[in-house]
């Protein structure tokens, strides 16, 4: 049976998130540590300094990328590094539907 869908690539996820955060630099998203989340499918993670409902809505509302869910949890700095608080943000993508290719007529 032919495959009809595929997972999003790391490059596609990074390009999408870069375009989203281009207008929200004040939130301090660190996309240099963008990576696939181990032991989960179609999920990528990165860190961010400030959390915003608006950015979560912006990510979730993009129909072209098919974002299934966005969630986060706080990260506490190691002892001796002050009291800075960051968040690890996770973006879960839907599978990308593959277009059917027409058969060439000979």
* Residue-wise pLDDT tens digits, 3-20: 788 899 999 999 999 999
The pTM of the full predicted model, rounded to 2 decimals, is 0.82
Q: How confident is the model at residue 85 (pLDDT cuts 50, 70, 90)?
A: confident
Q: How confident is the model at residue 27 (pLDDT cuts 50, 70, 90)?
A: very high
The percentage of residues in the chain with a pLDDT greater than 90, rounded to a whole number, is 60
Bridge partners of residue 67, in order along the sequence: 93
Give residue 102's pLDDT. 62
Which domains does the chain show, CATH number per domain? 5-96 (3.10.28)
* pLDDT higher than threshold 90 for residue 46: yes
* pLDDT higher than threshold 90 for residue 98: no
Buried b (16+ CB within 10 A) or exposed e, 33-63: ebeeeeeeebbbbbbbeeeeeebbebbeeee
């Amino acid at each position: 049976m032919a495959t009809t869908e595929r997972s999003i690539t790391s490059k596609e996820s990074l390009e999408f998130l870069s375009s989203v955060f281009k207008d929200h630099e004040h939130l301090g998203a660190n996309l240099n540590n963008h990576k696939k989340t181990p032991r989960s499918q179609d999920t990528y993670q990165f860190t961010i300094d400030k959390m915003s409902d608006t950015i979560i809505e912006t990510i979730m509302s993009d129909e072209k990328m098919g974002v299934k869910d966005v969630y986060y949890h706080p990260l506490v700095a190691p002892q001796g590094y002050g009291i800075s608080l960051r968040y690890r943000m996770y973006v879960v993508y839907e599978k990308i539907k593959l277009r059917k290719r027409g058969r060439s007529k000979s």
